[in-house]
Structure 1
Amino acid sequence: MSDKSFWDSRYAESHHVWSGNPNVVLVREVEGLTPGSALDLGCGEGGDAIWLAARGWAVTAADISAVALEKAAAHAAEAGVTVDFQQHDLAVSFPSGSYDLVSAQFLYSRENLPREQVLARAARAVAPGGILLIEGHQDFGPFAAQSQDHGDVHFAEPGEVVAALELPAGEWEVLLCEKHDRLQNGPDGRPAHRTDSTVKVRRLPH
């Protein structure tokens, strides 16, 4: 099954696959920023993109799944905000332009998504003075029993993520590169601990 088919099927299973709420780290790290242009990679049903748009950001949001994008557009309309939703297989195509904020929250795939290359491309899309925010997993947490269903996923250490970006010396500053604990509801609906990671880098102004 292709990535597109897998995610279309997953998003067709229910009205909400995800909570609809923005990711906690995104909220924490973006709330104090002056709104500008933002790119949300792997936007899913649009929770992050809609939250950003409601706070004055001009948001472009990309996902591989047409089903997810259709649902995200409907949720944005319900919220009364405008988001430019675009369908992209990020291994093949990427939204054009440069952005004050590029966000990649838990950008993974069952198949051979070249995550390092996609994130390096994301860094090149950051405008001078802008931020790249990457949130990732360090383990399967409460979903360890289902790990065989997710293909050969490598959960890179935050330092690995920064190194793979190959940021030109003197042009960027690393603001965050850390692991942290997070509570997440498991398959049984009960909260369980999971280790995630945050990378936040800023492209220096010219």
Structure 2
Amino acid sequence: MTDTHTTTTGEEQPSAQEFWDGRYRQSERLFSGRPNAELVAETQDLSPGHALDLGCGEGGDAIWLARQGWRVTATDVSAVALERAARHAEQAGVADRIDFQRHDLAESFPAPAGERDSFDLVSAHFLQSLIALPRDEILRTAAATVAPGGTLLVVDHTGFPSWEPGPHPDVHFPSTQEVLAGMQLNHCQWEVRTERLYEHEVTLADGRVMTRANNILKVRRLSD
């Protein structure tokens, strides 16, 4: 899970791992540890199977899925985040249900455990970054790993939050239609189950309560 957004610039950039390790080292805990509300709402009708959590961060979503009976492959580019996620999973008593793997998704992609060749659920929450990220290619690869009858859930921020002190003017936030177009799904093999805007309240450190909006796209694979 991330809290920033995709951009590309001509400036020299750190590697993805350097960037995100640095972000996580800024505080003892970057996220709340609670699962994303969109994940909870959009998976309540699914039977637990094998899930892939892309950009798992400190493990909040992966741990929640494991508690619901899922077996989870959870990946992130940050070794710092993964070390915390593994510790949190151990404390939650679900470490045996989660396989944490470090991947730079621009270079490698996690495979299902054992003899499986697909996932019943692939979750990509806020797979957005201030450094270059080939999102369309990553999401196409993610879609290819979804089993027939399985679900791909993509949740994105719709823009910078109102409290952002210095938004980046060159950042583009894709609509759900742009995400669909980028994944190049065969309409005979996939159906859109959810496509909507979700707004939620965020309590800032100074006590202010603000609103943040996210796009939710859930698609189901019908066949090979």
Q: Name the TM tier (shorter chain).
A: over 0.9
- Asked whether 1:47 is paired with 2:67, we answer no
The two structures have a TM-score, normalised by structure 1, of 0.93
Q: Give, in whole Å, the separation in 2 of the partners of 1:197 and 1:72.
A: 25
- Asked whether 1:165 is paired with 2:183, we answer yes
Q: Give, in whole Å, the separation in 2 of the partners of 1:154 and 1:89.
A: 21
Q: Give, in whole Å, the separation in 2 of the partners of 1:127 and 1:102.
A: 10
Conserved in 2, the CA contact under 8 Å of 1:3 and 1:110? Answer: no
Q: Give, in whole Å, the separation in 1 of the partners of 2:192 and 2:73.
A: 24
Match in the other structure for 1:90: 105
Match in the other structure for 1:201: 219
Q: Which of residues 16, 21, 29 is equivalent to 2:34?
A: 21
Which is richer in helix? 1
Question: Between Structure 1 and Structure 2, how many residues are aligned?
Answer: 204
Match in the other structure for 1:179: 197
Q: Give, in whole Å, the separation in 2 of the partners of 1:12 and 1:91.
A: 22
Show structure 2 runs of 5+ residues with no match.
1-13, 113-117
Give matches, 1:114-133, under 5 Å: 114-133=134-153
Conserved in 2, the CA contact under 8 Å of 1:143 and 1:186? Answer: no
Q: Give, in whole Å, the separation in 2 of the partners of 1:202 and 1:120.
A: 14
- Asked whether 1:72 is paired with 2:85, we answer yes
Match in the other structure for 2:120: 100
Q: Give, in whole Å, the separation in 2 of the partners of 1:118 and 1:188.
A: 36
Q: Residue by residue, what CA displacement relative to the aligned partner does 1:57-111 show, whole Å, maximum 9, x if unpaired?
A: 0100000000000000000000000210000001111011310000000111121
Q: Structure 1 pair 65/152, CA: closer, same or farther in 2 (3 Å)?
A: farther
Q: Give, in whole Å, the separation in 2 of the partners of 1:90 and 1:188.
A: 35
Q: Residue by residue, what CA displacement relative to the aligned partner does 1:154-177 show, whole Å, maximum 9, x if unpaired?
A: 210111111111111210000111
Show structure 1 runs of 5+ residues with no match.
none
Q: Give, in whole Å, the separation in 1 of the partners of 2:170 and 2:145.
A: 28
Q: Residue by residue, what CA displacement relative to the aligned partner does 1:39-74 show, whole Å, maximum 9, x if unpaired?
A: 000000000000001111010000000000000000
The two structures have a TM-score, normalised by structure 2, of 0.86
Question: Higher relative contact order by CA 8 Å / sep ≥ 6: 1 or 2?
Answer: 2
Structure 2 counterpart of 1:146, which letter?
Answer: G
Report the secondary structure of 1:78's partner residue: helix
State the percentage of identical aligned residues.
52
Conserved in 2, the CA contact under 8 Å of 1:142 and 1:185? Answer: no
